[in-house]
Each structure stands twice: as C-alpha cells, then as structure tokens.
Structure 1
Amino acid sequence: MKIIKLNAIDSTNSFLKEMAANSTLENFTVIVTQEQTNGRGQQESTWVSEPHKNLTTSIFTNNLNLETYYQKYLNFAVCLSIFEVLNTKKISNLRIKWPNDIMAENKKICGLLIENTIKGSKINNSIIGIGLNVNQEVFPSYLKNVASLKNLTNINFDLELLLIEIVEKLKEKITILLSKEYGVLETEYLNVLYKKNIPTMFKDSNDVLFMGKIIGISDLGYLEIELEDESIQQFGIKEVSLA
C-alpha cells in the first residue's frame, strides 16, 4: 500500500486518474487529502466536506480482469469493505443504500464513486473514491439527512487509522471478488441493503410516486422493486429515489 498525502486538491479521483494515465501505479495506491475543493459523487453530483475533519480519499486497484457483466460484484465488494469497517465501531442501524451509499440511523454517512477503466469486455483498473463523514459535527442546511461518525458516537476518530483499516478490508474483499465468489458478495450485500423487503414510497424520474419494496439487484446491477401488483420493475441510477 502506497499512501500519498495532499493538503488540498480539487478531487482525489481526478488526481489519481491523471496519475494512472501518466505513470505505472502500484496496486492499492492511495490518494488522501485534508481538503477537497471539488469533490465528485455519482452522476456529476458534488461531495461537500469540512477540511481536516473527514476522510476524502481515492484508492487505485489494477489487474482486476473482471468481465463488465459482473461489475455489480465490484460495487458489492467496495461497499462491504466500508460497511464492515464501520460495523466494528458500534454504529447502530448501519445499512448500504443502493447503489453505494452507507447509511446509519437513516442518515447518509458515506458516499462512493467507482470509476473503471475498461479494455474490451473487461474491467482492468478501478479508482475507488470514498467520502466518509467522520469528525464533522455541523453540516450545511441544504444537506438533508446526513451525519458523521462523531454525530453518531460522540467519538473523535483517527482518520489515518480508519483509512488503513478500510484499505486492508478492501484488499480482502477484492481477493474474494477475484476468486469469483460472487454469491458470497451478493448475499452479504443483500443482507444489509437499506429498505430491503420493507414497503416504501418511491418517486421515479418523472416525479411520479408509487409504493413498492426493494427485493434485490438485477444481473446488470439495476435495483429491483416489487410493485403493489406484485410485478417487478428495474431501475437504474437516478431513475428512482425514496419519496
């Protein structure tokens, strides 16, 4: 593991992506910064983080040789890495919200951005961006339903130790992925999936409300929701949200 520490940068994912394009990187090279000025989330959303208080990092993994058809299992491996580390911190009601947010007490505490390099039909390299709310206590009013580990436990965490734990757990899960133990990863992910099998009000991309319950993830990584008429509909990222 090679850790590169930066005082401030626009985006750890962007920085690491540029490094990967211009040099040969060691597997599990890590970029971590005290301040991220233009953090990125899913679908061009932004990630807001108070300097020196949170974990803003990106991790490079290579030689995955993973068929794109099995991409969802990479997502499962990454999410479970964060989840299992946080689960050792005695944080209550911890869940993974599809596709890759970590929730606690119904509040978002971590967001992930996974960007893959694809050659032919296979994922070769991946850059895993992690934004974890750790010691920040106050958030902007426009950020709804967010919290930090400090909010939930009243404990100040060592950011460097937390990072090392996450990278080591990620190595374990990537090993399971490369061993093609896909069923193990899927079972573990679905066991802690937020709102699974709970009747819930959703909103689609046209702002239409509907009732349903999450029952699983499709082969291609879409969210499967069983509707009131017992039919099953699949949704991609940004096609559905909790109402």
Structure 2
Amino acid sequence: MIRHIATAGSTNDEARDPQLAHGDVVWADEQTAGRGQRGHAWSSTPGENLTFSVVLRPTFLPAGEQFLLSEAVTLALVRTFGDYGIDTRIKWTNDIYAGDRKLVGILIEHHYAGATLDRTVAGIGINVNQRTFDPSLPNPVSMAQLTGRTYDRREVLEAYLARLNEEYGRLEAGDAPRLQADYRARMYRLGERHPYRLADGTAVEAAIEGVRPSGELLLRHDDGTLRAYLFREVEFVIAGR
C-alpha cells in the first residue's frame, strides 16, 4: 500500500504508524522536517522529487547483521537507476552517487525485539525532476539533470519498490554472501586511493576494500594496515563539498 500525502514533517515519523504493515510506503510531496544522516536536514523542492519511507519487518535478521538490510535497500536503488540508464555507486553507508554528486539520501531507522530486528523504516529521498538546487547544498544532482528527461515520480517509486522486493527476497532467503559481494562491487571509490577525515580531524589517504556485515568500512592505509571504521569515525573528503 502506498499512502500518498501532500505534506509531512518527516515520512519516517509518519511511517511509525503501527497500522502500517511490511512493504507499506508513506510518500509525501513535501517534507517540512526531513532528516538525513549525521543530523543533516534533507532539502527538496515540493512536487519535483521523491521523499518516501518504506516499512520493513526483517524479524529473521540478527541485530548484529542489520547492515545487510542497508545493502538490500541501496542495491535496489542502484539497480533501479540502471534500468533508467543512469550509472550510480553506493557511498558508504547509504548515499547514492552519480560520479561525485549525490542523487539519493537515505536514513534507515531500526527497532529491535531482543536479539533480532523487529521493524525498520527506510527513509529515501531521490532527486528526480529538480533542475536547480540551493547553492549552499554541497553536491546534489537529479535524474533529470543527468538525462535531460522529466520522470513520472510514481513510476520511479513503483520501479524501485519492485527492485527492493527482489533484493529483500534474496536477503530473506539467506543469500547474504552474494548480496554483500554485489554491494561491495557497487561501492563508491572502491579500490581507489582518496583522502578521508577521521573523527578527531586527522587527514589520511586510504583505499576502500569493502565493508563488514556489521557495517564497518574497511580502509587500506598508506602504511599497508587495514582498519575498520564505524559510521561516525571517518568522513569522505570530496571536492566541491
């Protein structure tokens, strides 16, 4: 079921409604208090893009493997854009990039039942038809800017939900190793040497080698050491940001 509303503070907040079941979607034409990762706000011109949240019930997934769900959510986006002829990569943890520009922001919020996940809300913002952005935003891009086309937003949403159903089905069927391999293969900057900033402000150069099932980013440093970083322990340094 897709619940399409004109305005919401945050679709993730709306999706907390206990009446919503697995696979249900809250889609708002405008968010007045959209949230992104690292506490950032999500900015989007009303009626031009897609801002929605999907309710999932991954009760089969241990809490320590919750990042596998992020992999399914993001891989479904990459495959959806591929269907539209747009080449994208997954910027750890959850953003989708076309080149060095951000096409999608994602905020995934989990709720637990003991040792397993119970209910997850995946909030997704896709830049679809917007062609001009606030210059204060670091590096946004839209599907329309990349292709010169205007898109039916509901069609894009339904295409994504079909892909998400496929990836989620693979995870539920126990195909985690292939899911992880596919995620790794689509990672932004995989195997390339680039600058990063650590939580204490230290600048380093390293190459991405992959990600653990628990979500830590694996970076190979110049001295040859391989180190694992949690979400807030390392930040990408990207030109123009």
Distance 2:100 2:149 in 1: 19
Post-superposition offset of 1:63: 4.8
Q: Offset at 1:29?
A: 0.8
Percent sequence identity is 29
Matching of residue 186 in structure 1 with residue 180 in structure 2? yes
**C-alpha distance in 2 between matches for 1:54 and 1:197:** 32
Residue 75 of structure 1: aligned partner = 70
The one-letter amino acid of 1:7's match is: A
The correspondence for 1:150, drawn from 141, 144, 148, is 144
Task: Map Cα deviations across residues 196-229 of structure 1 (whole Å, 9 max, x no partner).
Answer: 1101111111221111101011242110101011
Alignment match, 1:134: 128
Partner of 1:13, secondary structure, is helix
Runs of 4+ in 1 over 4 A off after TM superposition: none
Using the TM superposition, give the Cα deviation of residue 61 of structure 1 relative to its aligned residue in structure 2, in angstroms. 1.3
Assess if the C-alpha contact under 8 Å between 2:197 and 2:204 holds in 1.
yes
Give the aligned residue type for 2:235: S
Tell whether the 8 Å contact from 1:64 to 1:178 is kept in structure 2 after alignment: no
Amino acid at match of 1:172: E
Distance, in Å, in 2 between the alignment partners of 1:151 and 1:26 is 35
Contact persistence 2:86–2:146 (CA under 8 A): yes
CA RMSD of aligned residues (A): 1.1
Residue 14 of structure 1 deviates from its aligned partner by 0.6
Cα distance, 1:5 vs. partner? 0.8
Q: In structure 2, what is the equivalent of residue 160 of structure 1?
A: 154
For residues 84 and 8 of structure 1, the distance between their equivalents in structure 2, rounded to whole angstroms, comes to: 28
Amino acid at match of 2:63: T
- Amino acid in the other structure paired with 1:111: G
Out of 30, 33, 51, which is 1:35 matched to?
Answer: 30
Structure 2 gaps, min length 5: none
1:121 matched to 2:115? The reply is: yes
Match of 1:78, as an amino acid? V
CA distance in 2, matches of 1:150, 1:105: 15
Distance 1:26 1:217 in 2: 30
How far apart, in 2, do the equivalents of 1:190 and 1:63 lie?
22
Return the alpha-carbon distance in structure 2 between the equivalents of residues 43 and 64 of structure 1.
26
What TM-score comes out, normalization by structure 2 length?
A: 0.95
Matches within 5 A, 1:209-220: 209-220=203-214
Residue 2 of structure 2 corresponds to residue 3 of structure 1: yes
What secondary structure sits across from 1:197 in the alignment?
coil
Counterpart of 1:228 in structure 2 is 222
Give the whole-Å Cα distance in 1 for the aligned partners of 2:201 and 2:184: 27
Q: Distance in 1 between matches of 2:171 and 2:213?
A: 15
CA distance in 2, matches of 1:239, 1:16: 29
- 2:77 aligned partner, one-letter code: I
Flag the 1:63–1:242 CA change in 2: closer, same or farther, 3 A.
closer
Pick aligned residue for 2:83 from 85, 88, 108? 88
What is the match of residue 12 of structure 2?
13
1:215 and 1:240 mapped to 2: Cα distance? Answer: 15
Structure 1 runs not aligned, ≥5 long:
none
Which amino acid is 1:211 matched to? E
Report the count of equivalent residues. Answer: 237
Could you tell me how far apart the structure 2 residues matched to 1:159 and 1:104 are? 19
TM-score (norm 1): 0.94
- CA distance in 2 between partners of 1:175 and 1:205 (Å): 36
